[in-house]
Amino acid sequence: MKKLIAMMLTAAMVFSLTACGGNETAGAEKESNVESSVVDESTEAGDAVTDGAVIVAPEVEADTFGGKMWDAFLAEMKENPDAAPIDVANVLIANEAIQFMGGTVEMEPGWFMGFTNDVTGFAKAAQFGPMMTGVAFMGYIFTLEEGEDVNAFITSLAGNADPRWNICVEADQTVIGAYGNTVFFLMCPISNVAQ
């Protein structure tokens, strides 16, 4: 059943490629945080440990759409540090900042929309994004096995990300960070997608 839902979501997203209009982000400033840094919430920089979890914070402006989604992810992880990726994805797609009909699906290693190569090296994953629209928005939550190198996984995602995965639009920013062994990945517009 999960594979059927995943295939239907993928088909809907592929269908939207042929039905979408012009490039919504033409001329917009592009931003990427492929260089993440470990940030201590009590100081400006260093090894952040919050309730035993190291936070790898993305370099993203707080008032951007990606910054707001990162903050929502961080708040959810602090409240529910053992949450499964699909549960975190469901919380994020329901965020009031998202102004499109969205959905979530659990993912297995392999090809993911928004990447140039297969994504592997994680224990569990979930995708969250628009159901049928030409919005440049695609998010993933990954849980790595205990002891896995989170920074290496983030570097791999950054090098494999394709902000122009959708033929009609291109994401303005790529936001990648982690709370413990849970990795947040998002490609999105800089401002709220409803604007």
The pTM of this model reads 0.76
Q: What is the pLDDT of residue 30?
A: 43
* 90 pLDDT above the threshold of 70: yes
Percent share of the chain, pLDDT over 70: 71
Q: In this predicted structure, which of 37-41, 72-76, 103-107, 156-160 has the lowest mean pLDDT?
A: 37-41
Tokens 């917009």 locate to 28
Per domain, the residue ranges of the chain are 2-188
- Return mean pLDDT, the chain: 79
pLDDT of res. 134: 76
- Per DSSP, what are the bridge partners of residue 183? 142, 178
pLDDT at 119 over 50: yes
**Positive/negative CA dihedral, 112, 13, 75, 91:** negative
> By the 8 A CB rule, do 183 and 154 touch?
yes
Least confident range of 38-42, 94-98, 101-105, 171-175: 38-42
Provide the pLDDT for residue 5: 54
**HSE value, Cβ hemisphere, 13 Å, CA-based, for 150:** 25
Q: Decide: residue 53, CB within 10 A, 0-12 exposed, 13-18 middle, 19+ buried.
A: middle
DSSP sequence for 40-108: -TTSSSS--EETTEEEEE----TTSHHHHHHHHHHHHHHH-TT--HHHHHHHHHT-TT--S-EEEEEE-
What is the rounded distance in angstroms from the CA atom of residue 64 to the CA atom of residue 182?
A: 22
- Please say if the pLDDT value at position 32 is more than 50: no
Closest CA to 108 of 183, 181, 3, 24: 3
| pLDDT computed for residue 46 by the predictor | 37
Percentage of residues in the chain with pLDDT exceeding 90?
50
Q: Tell me what pLDDT residue 75 has.
A: 95
